[in-house]
A and B are shown apart, each in its own frame.
Chain A
Amino acid sequence: QVQLQESGPGLVKPSETLSLTCTVSGGSISSYYWSWIRQPPGKGLEWMGYIYYSGSTKYNPSLKSRVTISVDTSKNQFSLKLSSVTAADTAVYYCARDGGSGSPDWYFDLWGRGTLVTVSS
């Protein structure tokens, strides 16, 4: 079955750029929308943005100036970059698949296990 796995540094310094990759295994990245969602410790979920396998993107307006999501179909991966991070960006970062094939349906039927990223010097 299709599985998602986040990877990347668990510690990032303030003002630097957070970079994470989500690898899709057991299925193709094509024909679906893929999102990044984060959850600060003890708090709720925040949608960060999505990308279609073709490369089209949409971002959360509150993060738009700092976030970039890209896709590498040859590796079946998509990635997140968040610039100028602060302690407020400390969170568990999840990658997830939108269940709508070909168009976003805004429900996430597959999730990665999440990776904790701490912003600290």
Chain B
Amino acid sequence: QSVLTQPPSASGTPGQRVTISCSGGSSNIGSNTVNWYQQLPGTAPKLLIYRNNLRPSGVPDRFSGSKSATSASLAISGLQSEDEADYYCATWDDSLNGQGVFGGGTKLTVL
């Protein structure tokens, strides 16, 4: 059971806008910044969004992140077939002397 809750699946058609939610609590999302990772099949995760809404160099501006209270969201606009992947949110949790926590992951299917 993950500390951060994500929907197990999401889907959209090419060109659509999709959002993936990540729900936590006061000791994690409520107190720390949120990061998002994209994992294509058979590859290592790739940093997509950091510090809630910043994009690393090379990540298209179709990807955006936001945070409000104890929840965060990843939005993908202009959906493309290559966006089909697993997406994970992550943050630090201040409980139990501090630990890193990931969401359970959301599998995005491009129909």
Contact = CB atoms under 8 A, between A and B. Distances in A.
Interface of A: 35, 44-47, 50, 58, 60-61, 94, 99, 104-109, 111-114
Contact of A94 (B44, B51, B90, B100): B44
Given A106-B33, A106-B90, A111 B100 contact: no
Contacts of B24: none
A10 B98 CA distance: 30
A61 B3 CA distance: 13
B44 A61 contact: no
Contact of A60 (B2, B43, B46, B100): B100
B56 interface: yes
A8 B44 CA distance: 17
Contact of B97 (A61, A105, A106): A61
Q: Can you list the 7 inter-chain pairs with the closest CB atoms, starting with the nearest?
A: A47-B100, A107-B50, A107-B35, A111-B44, A45-B102, A106-B92, A61-B96
Contacts, number: 63
Interface size class of B (residues with CB under 8 A): 20 to 34
A109 B56 contact: yes
Interface in B73-95: 88, 90-92
Contacts of B103: 44
Contact of B44 (A47, A50, A99, A113): A113
Nearest to A110: B47
Contacts of A58: 97-99
14 contacts: A44-B2, A44-B102, A44-B105, A45-B45, A47-B99, A47-B100, A61-B96, A99-B50, A105-B50, A106-B92, A108-B35, A109-B50, A112-B44, A114-B44
A41 to B, nearest CB: 12
Nearest to A63: B99
A44 B5 CA distance: 12
B44 A107 contact: no
B71 interface: no
Contact of B105 (A45, A47, A106, A112): A45
A114 B80 CA distance: 26
